[in-house]
Amino acid sequence: MGQRHANRIILPNFFDYDDEHEHVEMSARLAIRESWSSAQLDAFAQSCARVRLKDRRPVCYTDDAAGASDMSFSTHTMAKPLILVTNDDGIRAPSLEALASALEAVGEVHVYAPDRQQSAVGHCVSLHRPLRVTPLGGREQWFMVDGTPTDCVMLAVRNLLGRRPDLVVSGINPGANLGDDVTYSGTVAGAYEGMLLGIASFAISSVNYVPNYLETAGRFATKLARHILEHGLPPDTVLNVNVPDVPYDELSGVAITRMGRRDYKDEIVRRLDPRGGMYYWIGGAEPSHIVESGTDFEAIEHNRISVTPLHRDLTNHAALPRLAEQPIAL
């Protein structure tokens, strides 16, 4: 009944179930003793089946000690995956609602989001003032924080959630976070903070500032969430996802990409305020980008979802030998 691997068995079709969106195949990873026979595996599978049929929860398992000693398995259902959701556009952004409601098909969603617009705050953390956390009226497990996306993730994971999330998802940002945008983005920073805390994390953006198809990004977020919960992510890696603003069926695919480079056209506007004081406002035309193959920009140009793995280590390793050859004197 079960296909045996080095330290687990996978029970095909064992935890299949239908949710609102699609047929989902879940496989259970079960810790077992290498000495178990096929008969023992089958007995264990039967034991799990009763649990599964009782309440349709997706996974059951046994701990090694109880299972291997006398076959009186301590099977029980695991809690649904805990998914922490944040954004940088504020807790009332429709794009946050779209993401959170989509992810409810995957796990137990808890939202901790800024109480106001926090776009382009980058990886800012509030160290010099207290932070207030307020439940959002009428929404269970939704909380607004008078801080940044990084504050939200840090407070939730280190203190408020009660258990460690299985996944951190930040978005859906209305507007692309491509190339150098990631260094400014509060959306990416929310996921980056999750990565720093050792939790699988991704940021997701729709490339249109006024998205027409948030459900496209939401639907891909559920697919990616399931994929990550099943396969994990490489260490010290956070995913930056950008989604074309088109109907889901019109997407051309998914591309794993590298960061491209922006060509910003920022202009500083200088004016006088009503009392004669000078003020400055960063403005300018929409940024363009440098055309290069394999980049996140190229994926979007070809109507593909871009998935860029960002690494925690920002060191330019290729520059180390050259800099070492030209020692910097004290």
Give the binding site for Mg ion (CB under 5 A).
88-89, 119, 173
90/309 with CB nearer Mg ion: 90
Given a contact cutoff of 8 angstroms between Cβ atoms, the answer to whether 67 and 44 are in contact is yes
What would the DSSP string read from start to end of 205-264? EESSSS-S-HHHHHHHHHHHHHHHHHH---TTEEEEEEE-SS-GGG---EEE-B---EE-
62/173 with CB nearer Mg ion: 173
- Chain-centre distance of CA 210, in angstroms? 21
Q: Which residue in this structure is represented by tokens 């996802």?
A: 241
166/181 with CB nearer Mg ion: 181
Given a contact cutoff of 8 angstroms between Cβ atoms, the answer to whether 226 and 195 are in contact is no
60/96 with CB nearer Mg ion: 96
User: Minimum distance between the CB of residue 89 and Mg ion, rounded to whole angstroms?
Assistant: 4
Q: Which residues, 6 or more positions from 181, have their beta carbon under 8 angstroms from its beta carbon?
A: 188, 262
62/205 with CB nearer Mg ion: 205
75/118 with CB nearer Mg ion: 118
Q: Residue 33 has which token pair?
A: 């003793």
User: Minimum distance between the CB of residue 191 and Mg ion, rounded to whole angstroms?
Assistant: 13
107/122 with CB nearer Mg ion: 122
User: Minimum distance between the CB of residue 205 and Mg ion, rounded to whole angstroms?
Assistant: 8
Q: Where are the beta strands (DSSP E) in the chain?
A: 3-4, 9-10, 17-18, 23-24, 60-61, 76-77, 82-86, 108-114, 133-135, 142-145, 167-174, 201-206, 237-243, 254-256, 262-263, 266-272, 278-284, 288-289, 305-311
Q: Which residues, 6 or more positions from 293, have their beta carbon under 8 angstroms from its beta carbon?
A: none
User: Minimum distance between the CB of residue 180 and Mg ion, rounded to whole angstroms?
Assistant: 16
Q: Residue 98 has which token pair?
A: 């779209």
User: Minimum distance between the CB of residue 303 and Mg ion, rounded to whole angstroms?
Assistant: 23
60/91 with CB nearer Mg ion: 91
**Three-state helix/strand/coil letters over 120-153:** CCCCCCCCCCCCCEEECCCCCCEEEECCCHHHHH
Residue number closest to Mg ion, CB atom: 119
User: Minimum distance between the CB of residue 4 and Mg ion, rounded to whole angstroms?
Assistant: 47
User: Minimum distance between the CB of residue 174 and Mg ion, rounded to whole angstroms?
Assistant: 6
User: Sign of the C-alpha dihedral, residues 211, 288, 238, 149?
Assistant: negative
88/296 with CB nearer Mg ion: 88
User: Minimum distance between the CB of residue 14 and Mg ion, rounded to whole angstroms?
Assistant: 41
SS3 55: helix
User: Minimum distance between the CB of residue 165 and Mg ion, rounded to whole angstroms?
Assistant: 21
